[in-house]
Copies of this chain bind each other. A is one copy, B any other.
Amino acid sequence: MSPSVAPKTAVLHNIATRIRIDSVRSTTAAGSGHPSTCCSAADITAVLFFGEMRYDPQDPHRVDNDRFILSKGHAAPLLYAAWAEVGIVSREATLTLRQLDSDLEGHPTPRLPWVDLATGSLGQGLPAAVGSALNARRIGSDYRTYVLLGDGEMAEGSVWEAAQSGQFHQLDSLCAIVDVNGFGQSRPTQFAHDVETIAARWNAFGWHAVIVDGHDVEAVQRAFADARATSGRPTVLVARTLKGKGISLMEDKPSWHGKSLKAGEEEDTAIAELEAQLVPEHGAGRPAIPAPSGRVDRPDPTGPKAMDAPGYALGDLVATREAFGTALARLGAADARVVVLDADVKNSTFSDRFEKAFPDRFYQAFIAEQVMVGMAMGLAGRGAIPFATTFAAFLTRAADFIRMAGVSHLHVKFAGSHCGVSIGEDGPSQMALEDLSLFRAVPGCAVLYPCDAVSAERLVAAASAHDGMAYLRTSRPKTPVIYGPEETFPIGGSKVLRHSATDAITIVTAGVTVFEALQAAETLAGDGIAVRVIDLYSVKPVDEPTLHRAGTETGLIVTVEDHYAAGGIGDAVCEAVSPHGVRVVRVAVPGVPRSGTPEELLDLNGLSARALAATVRRLVSAR
């Protein structure tokens, strides 16, 4: 590079070069990682962190900091190297990459204060960035959100869900950068360096697409300025780059995905080559980092206001999904941090009650569950308490986002309606029969399953207050209110609804089958068989002491669930009591169901009062 280069350009070029050097050094020290993808995005990153983004390097928690999401999470060393340039981490620390006692993991996680959410499952950064940009609008801040994508991950449909959400919500504070280095892991991407075709797609999705040479720091600065000047729609920089840029051994070579350079001659040669690219004259120092504006029109409260007790009378017939909608609107009044997301089923989940009360805190994702959850992750990462709501069956569409929300320890709340065969005629495609399993497999996620309107309302508030993820499972049929308005439902608890000193067996269940179990117990009492019935409204964490005592006292637990046997209530109960050798028999939906009335389907699948009574009789007589 010639000495006639403008000083800021030379300075940024030198920062990018040092980022490349650090990325090589850290991955070689680790013996694994992705230096080639760090090199393609180094110039873009240098521009972003030195002059484009407004943030306070001393305070990662400032709510008005511009945000950066590294969607191509395998380029983590790039991020850590940029931080080293900023002074957020030490240069020595970057050499602890991927070590057990270092928070500089193989892919970024929120163990690091500047990371709002874990990345590494591709295609999730842009959906979360949409949530971050919505959050700026929510709190009345002018912070901007930047997200760096790989070109390979544009194949993920979730990227296009996010693109259309960005368009729909007119998020001009959102700026994506696609690092078009042309290579995926195992082969060239579908479009290689055809930036025009890529830009045409983004334009068709309503974005302002700017094609730019991703190694020309002046051009990249101009493109960011163009983005900042664009209103009413988000901008994407389609940046043509070379994988491994700056290192002749790997530059634009297909075989260097996910490989570190060998320590010794290979590393030394690459470092020497990069160091030779540093511009000595005018290339010293670092540009000032612009401060955030300080504008936050609607700062978040620190906690919820007190809520009145639920307003139901014993015996009222209310579906838990409807009670959920009512409770959500009440919670919204008590806590301004609560926001709700819908995937075009708000009139079935009853989340429309929240929308009616708080239209500005209700986000429509249309039929795109991945971006719905991704938006919720982005909002949760910035202080909101989002409830993502749809049919429970369709939350499985976002299973990988749910998994990553768990990895990120994000306080996203999920509510799934229409669980189980009790939805009836719509048939198996609409029935959630694996949702308890899905959410139980997320560390720290509370799994709540109310049977009546009072417990539903109490558990909505409990889910919101829970320090972590929470899932609330609601049902379609109307069920009678059995709990008084003052009853409380702590997470991790259960309710023993029926018990005696002579109980021969315990039924543990939740949701609509609570009523089938109670009715079966009534029938069996007439036959002289006393049955304990437990409402396991908190499927996770589970009330181990109560279950253990019931198992010990009655000798046999039957778990009953409108769900498949794997991973649900039966599993939760076994996890609690099998270490003690308690007998547990599961009653669950035995195979793929079909259409029919709710009553017919409960009976056909062994979950009706009649079927449960028969099962208990058989078990008791066999002892």
Interface residues of A (CB under 8 A from B): 30, 32-33, 73, 98-100, 102, 105-107, 109, 111, 118-123, 152-153, 155-161, 164, 168, 184-187, 189-190, 200-201, 203-205, 342, 344-348, 352, 364-368, 370-371, 393-394, 396-397, 399-400, 403-404, 406-407, 409, 425-430, 433-434, 437-438, 440-444, 540, 564-567, 570-572, 574-575, 578-586, 590-592, 594-597, 600-601, 604
Please report the C-alpha to C-alpha distance between residue A604 and residue B100 in the assembled complex, in whole angstroms. Answer: 10
Min CB distance A441 to B, Å, is 4
Point out the residues of chain B lying under 8 angstroms from A426, CB to CB: 32, 106-107, 120
Beta-carbon contact of A429 and B32 below 8 Å: no
Chain B neighbourhood of A578, CB < 8 A: 574, 578, 582-585
In the complex formed, the residue of B with least CB distance to A408 is: B592
Contact A409 B592 (CB under 8 A): yes
CA distance A160 to B201 in the complex (A): 11
Residue pairs across A and B with Cβ atoms less than 8 A apart, 24 shown, are A33-B425, A100-B604, A102-B595, A152-B366, A153-B367, A155-B164, A155-B365, A157-B160, A157-B368, A186-B345, A186-B347, A393-B400, A396-B399, A399-B399, A399-B400, A406-B592, A433-B441, A437-B438, A441-B567, A443-B564, A443-B592, A578-B583, A580-B583, A581-B582
| Contact status A434-B168, CB under 8 Å | no
Give CA–CA (A601, B203) in the complex, Å: 45
* From B160, B368, B540, B566, contact of A437 by CB (8 A): B566
Judge whether B581 and A570 touch: CB under 8 Å.
Answer: no
Q: Which residue from chain B places its CB closest to the CB of A368 in the assembled complex?
A: B155
A586 / chain B contacts, CB cutoff of 8 Å: 575, 579
- Indicate whether A567 sits within 8 Å of B425 (C-beta atoms), given known contacts A203-B204, A595-B98: no
**In the complex the two chains form, is B168's CB within 8 Å of A190's CB?**
yes
* Bound Cα distance from A567 to B168, whole angstroms: 38
Residue of B nearest to A395 (CB): B400
B155, A119: Cβ atoms closer than 8 Å:
no
Q: Which 6 A-B pairs have the closest CB atoms?
A: A157-B157, A120-B429, A567-B567, A100-B596, A399-B399, A204-B204
A429 CB contact (under 8 Å) in B161, B407, B429, B582: B407
Other CB < 8 Å A-B pairs besides A152-B367, A578-B582, 6 of them? A106-B425, A120-B428, A155-B344, A407-B592, A574-B584, A580-B583
Contacts of A348 in B (CB 8 A): 185-186
Q: Which residue of B lies closest to A150 (CB)?
A: B367
Contact between chains at A564 and B595 (CB < 8 Å): no
Q: Chain B residues near A189: list those with CB within 8 A.
A: 366
B428–A366 CB distance below 8 A: no
- In the complex, the answer to whether B371 meets A440 with C-beta atoms within 8 Å is no
| From B184, B186, B347, B365, contact of A185 by CB (8 A) | B347
Does the CB pair A567–B440 fall under 8 Å? yes
Give min CB distance, A351 to chain B, whole Å: 9
How far is A348 from B186 in the complex, measured between Cα atoms in Å? 9
Residue of B nearest to A200 (CB): B204
CB distance from A544 to the nearest CB of B (A): 13
User: Of B30, B106, B434, which one neighbours A430 at CB under 8 angstroms?
Assistant: B106
Partner of A571, one of B364, B428, B566: B566
**Max chain B Cβ within 10 angstroms of own Cβ: one of A427, A429, A583:** A429
Chain B nearest CB, measured from A486 CB (Å) = 33
Q: Return A376 CB to nearest CB of chain B, in Å.
A: 16
Within the complex, what minimum Cβ distance (angstroms) separates A156 from chain B? 6
Residue of B whose beta carbon sits closest to that of A366: B155
Q: Which residues of B contact A583 (CB under 8 A)?
A: 578-581
Residues of B within 8 A of A157 (CB): 156-161, 368, 370-371
On whether the beta carbons of B585 and A579 are closer than 8 Å, the reply is yes
Q: How far is the CB of A201 from chain B (nearest CB, A)?
A: 5
Using CB atoms, name the residue of chain B closest to A570: B575
Interfacial chain B residues near A342, Cβ < 8 Å? 186
Assuming the contacts A122-B367, A565-B575, asked whether A400 and B397 have C-beta atoms less than 8 A apart, the reply is: yes
Contact in complex: A118, B428 (CB < 8 Å): yes
Which residue of B438, B440, B591 contacts A444 across the interface (Cβ within 8 Å)? B591
Tell me whether A430 and B345 are in contact (CB under 8 A): no
Give the residues in chain B near A185, CB-CB below 8 Å: 344-345, 347-348
Measured in the bound complex, the distance between the Cα atoms of B397 and A396 in whole Å is: 9
A396 to chain B, nearest CB (A): 4
Pair B400/A428 contact, Cβ less than 8 Å: no
Distance in angstroms from A161 CB to nearest chain B CB is 4
Known: A119-B429, A579-B585. A100 touches B186 (CB 8 A): no
Q: B residues within 8 A CB of A158?
A: 157
Would A156 and B443 count as touching, CB distance under 8 A? Answer: no
Min Cβ gap A50→B in Å is 28
Q: Name A394's contact: one of B111, B121, B201, B592 (CB within 8 Å).
A: B121
Q: With a CB–CB cut-off of 8 A, which chain B residues contact A203?
A: 204
Residues of B within 8 A of A428 (CB): 105, 109, 118, 120, 407
Q: How far is the CB of A245 from chain B (nearest CB, A)?
A: 21
CB of B344 within 8 A of CB of A152, answer yes
Tell me the complex Cα distance, A592–B581, Å: 28
Cβ-defined contact, B201 with A111, below 8 A: no
Chain B neighbourhood of A581, CB < 8 A = 581-583
Q: How far apart are A412's CB and chain B's nearest CB, in angstroms?
A: 15
Contact A594 B364 (CB under 8 A): no
Bound Cα distance A579, B582 (Å):
9
B118 touches A425 (CB 8 A): no
